[in-house]
Amino acid sequence: MDNPSDIFTKPNCELQVDLTNMLVLEGHIQCAAFEMPIRPYEDTIYFGKQLPSIAAERLLRDPSLNFYHCNERFRPHPSRCVAIRDTEDGHFAVVDITHNRNVVLEEVEPSRAFFTIYEGGIFLHQGLTYLVREFSPDRRVAKVALVKVDWTTQQRDYTDIDPVETEAIRRLPAPSLSRAFYGAIRVRQVVFGFFKVDRKRRILDAVHVDNPPIILHSKGLWLDVPKPALAILNSRRLNVAAAIHAAEHAVLSLMPCYVISMPGDVRTECKNATKEFAQKETSRKRPARLTFYDAKGGASGSGISTKAFEFIDLLLVRAVERVEACHCVAGCVECVCSEGCKEQNLVMSKAGAEVVLKCLLGREAEIDIEGLPWGPEDERVKAGVETVVEAGAVPLSQALREKRGREEEEEVVVVKVEDVSEMG
C-alpha cells in the first residue's frame, strides 16, 4: 500500500447500493405492486425516476384507475421469486441418499456448483463429508452419501468463456481503431479430474473423471486483441496468453471505480499454467480476446458488465496508467495480479499487458519495443507452445442486424439526395 495511514485517518466508507440495477429494482417493485397498486409518478420518491417506464414495460396497468399491479409471472407469491441471499437462478439441489433418505441438504448456486459438485468429489455440509455419487447438470441434481474420510478433494478443471451473440458495439476514441462488444456469453466449465488431499494439503492421489460440462449463460463485454499487439508480443517471444490474462486483471480491478460492484461480481477467464506452458500442442486454442462477464444474474446478467461497457474507454486508459505507474517488475496486486485469480496468477506478463492495453487504445507508437523484456519472463516455468489464436467475428443479434440495415438504408437515401442536388 502506498498510503497506509489512510486506514486509520479516513472515515469509514459509506455502503453503496445501486438502486438503478434492474435485477434488484424490479423484484422490489413487483412485490410492492402486489401489496398495493403502484402510482408511477407519485411513487417515484420510493423507486426512482425510472419507475414510470418500468411500470409501463413490466407491470399490469389498470386502465380505469391508471394504477399498475404485479405482473402475472410473479403471482401468486412475488416474494418467493425474489432472492434475498443472491441474484442467481437455476440452483443445483444436493440430495442426501444415505440409507435411502432422499433429503435435500441444500441448494447450491450455479457459480459455486462448478467447483463443489462433481462425481467422486467430497462435498462439505455443516462440517460433515459427503461423497458425490451422481451428478446431473441437466436435471441440476447431485446425489451424495455420508462418508467418514480423512481427506478432501480439489478439482482439476478448465473454463471456456466465449461470446455467442453481439448485441451492441462501441468504438473506442481516436486514434484507436478497436471496438468493444457487448452481448450474450456462454461459460463452459469442465472438471476433468481431482486431487485427493489430506489435512496438511498433501496430494494423496490424482483421479481422472469424465464429468459432463456445466454450461451457464450470462451477459458480458469483450475486446479483440489488435494484430499489432500480437505481432509485438511474438517478436519479443512474450507469452500472449499471459499478456491477455494480465490485461484482463488490470481492467477488472478498476471496475468498482466506475460501477457499483463487489469483487467477484464480474469475472474473466483465468489462464492455467499447466496448459499455457505445456511443451506439446493443444486442441483447446483460445481466441486473443479480453472477456468479462456477469457472474450472477443468470442469462440476463446482473447489469454490472452493461455499465462497465459504457466506461470501457476510461477503464482502458486508467489501466494503462496504473500499469505504467507501478514500480514492480513482473506484476503485483497493485497492477496486473488479482487476489481472486483461481490460477494463482502464474500466467502473467506485465510487459505484455501494457502492449495489449496500449494497442487497444491506438497508442502503439508509445511502446518501446526494444525496451521490452525477452520471453519467457518467468524462468521458473519453461515457455510452452502458443495456445492463443487470432479472435474471429461473433455473430450479430437479430435486433442489431435490423438496426444496421436501417442505418445503411438511410445512408443510401442521403447519398441519393445529395447526388440529385448536385445535378440540379
**Phi, psi torsion values for 371, nearest 5 degrees:** -85, -5
What is the Cα–Cα distance from 65 to 47, expressed in whole angstroms? Answer: 20
Summarize pLDDT for 39-98 with one digit per residue, the tens: 988 898 888 888 898 888 889 998 888 889 998 888 888 887 776 655 566 789 999 999
Q: Is the dihedral of CA 325, 327, 333, 335 positive or negative?
A: positive
Q: For residue 78, what pLDDT is reported?
A: 85
Q: What is the mean pLDDT of residues 135-141?
A: 90
Q: Length of the chain, please?
A: 424
- Distance (Å, whole) CA 122 – CA 81: 31
Sign of torsion over alpha carbons 276, 282, 283, 285? positive
- Is residue 2's pLDDT more than 60? yes
The larger pLDDT score, comparing residue 368 to residue 79, is at 368
Q: What CA–CA distance (Å, rounded) separates 410 from 404?
A: 10
* Three-state SS at 228: helix
Closest by Cα among 261, 271, 316 to 294: 261
CA-CA distance, 249 to 326, in Å (whole number)? 14
* C-beta separation of 150 from 122 below 8 A: no
Omega into 76 within 30° of 0, i.e. cis?
yes
- Look at strands 286-287 and 388-389 and give their pairing: parallel
What is the model's pLDDT at position 378? Answer: 46
Q: What is the mean pLDDT of residues 223-250?
A: 94
SS3 assignment, position 6: helix
- Mean of the pLDDT values across residues 391-420? 75
CA distance linking residue 121 with residue 114, whole number of Å: 11
Q: What is the distance between the alpha carbons of residues 129 and 122, in angstroms, rounded to a whole number?
A: 6
Distances in whole angstroms, Cα of residue 141 to Cα of each of 14, 193, 237, 296: 40, 20, 46, 20
Residue 346, classed as helix, strand or coil, is coil
pTM of the model: 0.77
Element (H, E) at 325: helix 312-325
Coil, strand or helix: which one is 276?
helix
Summarize pLDDT for 11-49 with one digit per residue, the tens. Answer: 776 666 666 777 678 888 999 999 999 998 889 888 888
**Under a CB-based contact definition with an 8 Å cutoff, are residues 409 and 305 in contact?**
no
User: 154 vs 202, 216, 268, 341, 386, CA distance in Å?
Assistant: 11, 21, 21, 16, 27
pLDDT of residue 157: 87
CA–CA gap between residue 92 and residue 157 (Å, rounded): 19
Task: State yes or no: pLDDT of 293 exceeds 60.
Answer: yes
The dihedral built from the CA positions of residue 234, 238, 244 and 250, taken in this order, carries a sign that is negative
What's the rounded Cα separation, in Å, for the pair 262 and 253? 10
149-179 core/surface letters (b: 16 or more CB in 10 A; e: else)? eeebbebbbbbbbbbeebbbeeebeeebebe
Q: What pLDDT is stored for residue 214 in this prediction? A: 85
Instruction: Assess contact for 189 and 214: CB atoms under 8 A.
Output: yes
Q: Which residue has the higher pLDDT, 262 or 3?
A: 262
Mean pLDDT along residues 143-155: 93
Q: Grade residue 303 by pLDDT with cuts at 50, 70 and 90.
A: confident
Q: What is the pLDDT of residues 157-207, one digit of tens each?
A: 888 999 999 999 999 999 999 999 999 999 998 888 999 999 888 999 999
Which of 320, 307, 264, 322 is closest to 170 using CA atoms? 307
Q: For the chain, what is the mean pLDDT? A: 86
Q: How far is CA 306 from CA 170, 182, 377, in A?
A: 12, 7, 35
pLDDT at 281 over 80: no
* pLDDT average, residue stretch 105-134: 89
**Residue 380 pLDDT level (bands cut at 50, 70, 90):** very low
Amino acid, single-letter form, for residue 406:
R
* pLDDT attached to residue 374: 84
The pLDDT, as a whole number, for residue 79 is: 80
Q: Give whole-number Cα distances, 343 to 101, 339, 340, 390, in Å.
A: 38, 10, 9, 23
* Whole-number pLDDT of residue 424: 55
DSSP 8-state symbol, 38: B
Max CA separation in the chain (angstroms): 92
Determine the pLDDT at residue 4: 75
pLDDT tens, 249-272?
999 999 988 887 888 889 999 998
CB 270 within 8 A of CB 336: no
Note the pLDDT of residue 203.
92
Least confident window among 52-61, 221-230, 409-418: 409-418
Residue 210 pLDDT greater than 70, yes or no = yes
* pLDDT > 80? residue 411: no
For residue 113, CA distances in Å to 121, 139, 196, 213 come to 12, 13, 19, 11
Q: What's the pLDDT at 8?
A: 77
